[in-house]
Amino acid sequence: MGTIEVSPLPSTASLKDEIATANKKAADRIIEAEAILVDIMPAIKAIPRYKANLVTHAGPPIEWDKMVKPQKLAVMNAIRYEGLADTPEKADRLVRNGEVLVEPNHNYNNVSGMCGVTSASMPVFVIEDKIHSNRAFDWQQTDMTSFGQTYEEGMKEIQFVQNILSPVMAAAIKVGGGLNVKQLLSQGLQMGDELHGLFDATRGAFLNWILPYLVRTDFPKETLAQVGDYFTTYSGRWYCGNMMMGACKVMMDSARGIKYSTVVTAMARNGVEFGLKVSGLGDKWFLGPAGVIKGFMFPGFKVEESTLDIGDSAISESRGFGGTALSASPSQARLLGEDFQVALNHTRAMKEVSTAEDPLFRIPYMDFMGVPVGIDIRKVVQTGTVPKIDTGMAHKDGGHGIIGTGITEAPLIAFKSALVAFGEEYS
């Protein structure tokens, strides 16, 4: 991708004042936004405009032939799971002839991890921000829809989620009157989670909250036991990561569409390209190449077997969590190959390119400094400081679950492209 020349915006005091006012408004909205988990229900029932022949994916838009193999496999597996095709070849033809629509999750206020594939019958978290009258959705990470696991292996997990886990959790959440995910995440951060890769503390707080409501549901003992066993698995360890994504999405959506604002409202990746959106520039994606992931491979896998960075989960870093808040989690920093001092310095650097500090999400290892809120594309371009993103690794050929975990960087070119567009729009 070629170099983009960034012309300075007009240095009039009036434009600077407009931007400052707009960015403060964006940051204030993000900070005050609620994130209440109110239900778990099939995507076609929960998400406005969702269709039976629609499959959505992580990241910015991408052509079918350019999509990485695990994401394409995940889409075809979802088509098969919905009963629209009985072979991968038939699923592929349905996409090519337009009988099945394939679009980004963000088009529908939905997010999902890694390949992020969502389809009509899959139960999504419904997360509400009544202050700004917003809702966001999240289909939880599974091996088949997130990593391109084989259909025969992956469908078993989805059937469990659909038929056992989600009905039980939805019932318990309703008995509890809804879960304040924002408050839950703030507890996890102060207990050592950076809120992208690590959720052990958050999960503990969540299970403490939901246990009294689980036992008040009418499900059989054996069903509740299956749900309990699930939370000892790898997928169960990251269950709160799914809630994090939906919560961050609904909080970040509160800052969309503010005229003159240079605040980033979303970041996402599809394994080929990274994309970001800016408050004052509508729904346009600004793109750069997806990053190489550096980190820790699981036994039996090599770093060259991983795709490039992929997933909607960078909504975490958009909100100031994950790589930006890695200083809250020394153990996670070490796992991802980051020196803890480097993590501390990166949080400080992100503060300099952001608009505000969050008064709720505070980092104990930084004298309870609030996480940075409201990434400003102007400051990113001026300083060259880009967000670091915690991420998992999907096998480039699919057919596996997660193969590793690591960290990458957002491409500066995407921020430069956005700044050029901002100048054209407002200068």
DSSP string, 259-302: TT--BEEEEEEESSEEEEEEGGGTT--EEEEPPPPEEEEPTT--
Q: Across the chain, what does the average pLDDT equal? A: 95
- The answer, yes or no, to whether residue 7 has pLDDT greater than 80, is no
- The answer, yes or no, to whether residue 335 has pLDDT greater than 80, is no
Least confident of 1-5, 89-93, 238-242, 261-265: 1-5
Give me the percent of the chain exceeding a pLDDT of 90: 93
- The answer, yes or no, to whether residue 336 has pLDDT greater than 80, is no
Q: Report if residue 3 sits inside a domain.
A: no
> How far is Cα 211 from Cα 120, in angstroms, rounded to an integer?
29
For residue 100, what are the domain limits?
Answer: 36-245
**For residue 274, what is the domain's CATH number?**
3.90.1700.10
b/e map of 360-375 (b: 16 or more CB within 10 Å)? ebbbeebeebbbbbbb
Token reading at 403: 């193969």
- The answer, yes or no, to whether residue 8 has pLDDT greater than 60, is no
345 shares a domain with 235: no
* pLDDT tens by residue, 128-163: 999 999 999 999 999 999 999 999 999 999 999 999
Token reading at 269: 């990746």
Q: Report if residue 226 sits inside a domain.
A: yes
- pLDDT value for 16: 93
Q: Report if residue 330 sits inside a domain.
A: yes
Q: Report if residue 193 sits inside a domain.
A: yes
Helix (H) or strand (E) holding 83: none
- pLDDT value for 352: 98
Q: At what angle do helices 181-190 and 239-253 cross, to 10 degrees?
A: 120
> How far is Cα 339 from Cα 336, in angstroms, rounded to an integer?
9
Calculate mean pLDDT across residues 301-328. Answer: 97
- pLDDT value for 11: 55
CB 322 within 8 A of CB 390: yes
22 shares a domain with 72: no
362 shares a domain with 237: no
* pLDDT tens by residue, 208-256: 999 999 999 999 999 999 999 999 998 898 999 999 999 999 999 999 9
* pLDDT tens by residue, 341-363: 999 999 999 999 999 999 999 99
> How far is Cα 51 from Cα 101, in angstroms, rounded to an integer?
9
Q: Report if residue 250 sits inside a domain.
A: no
- The answer, yes or no, to whether residue 5 has pLDDT greater than 80, is no
- pLDDT value for 149: 94
CB 56 within 8 A of CB 75: no
| Residues sharing a CB contact under 8 Å with residue 221, sequence separation 6 or more, in sequence order | none
Q: Which of these three, 245, 272, 304, is where a domain ends?
A: 245
356 shares a domain with 234: no
CB 117 within 8 A of CB 57: yes
354 shares a domain with 263: yes
224 shares a domain with 163: yes
| Residues sharing a CB contact under 8 Å with residue 177, sequence separation 6 or more, in sequence order | none
331 shares a domain with 311: yes
Strand order in the sheet with 264-270: 286-289, 273-278, 264-270, 310-311
79 shares a domain with 19: no
Q: Report if residue 4 sits inside a domain.
A: no
CB 226 within 8 A of CB 166: no
267 shares a domain with 227: no
261 shares a domain with 224: no
Distances in Å between the Cα of 105 and the Cα atoms of 59, 112, 136, 227, 417 are: 7, 7, 11, 27, 22
Note the residue count of the chain: 427
Q: Report if residue 5 sits inside a domain.
A: no
> How far is Cα 131 from Cα 33, in angstroms, rounded to an integer?
6
129 shares a domain with 148: yes
In this prediction the pTM is 0.95
* pLDDT tens by residue, 173-212: 999 999 999 999 999 999 999 999 999 999 999 999 999 9
In angstroms, how far is the first alpha carbon of the chain from the final one?
A: 26
**For residue 46, what is the domain's CATH number?**
3.90.1710.10
- pLDDT value for 136: 98
> How far is Cα 74 from Cα 54, in angstroms, rounded to an integer?
13
293 shares a domain with 388: yes
**Total domains in the fold of the chain:** 2
> How far is Cα 58 from Cα 105, in angstroms, rounded to an integer?
6
**Mode of pairing for the β-strands spanning 286-289 and 273-278:** antiparallel
> How far is Cα 8 from Cα 421, in angstroms, rounded to an integer?
12
Q: Which of these three, 218, 245, 272, is where a domain ends?
A: 245
Q: Which of these three, 211, 245, 279, is where a domain ends?
A: 245
* pLDDT tens by residue, 53-95: 999 999 999 999 999 999 999 999 999 999 999 999 999 999 9
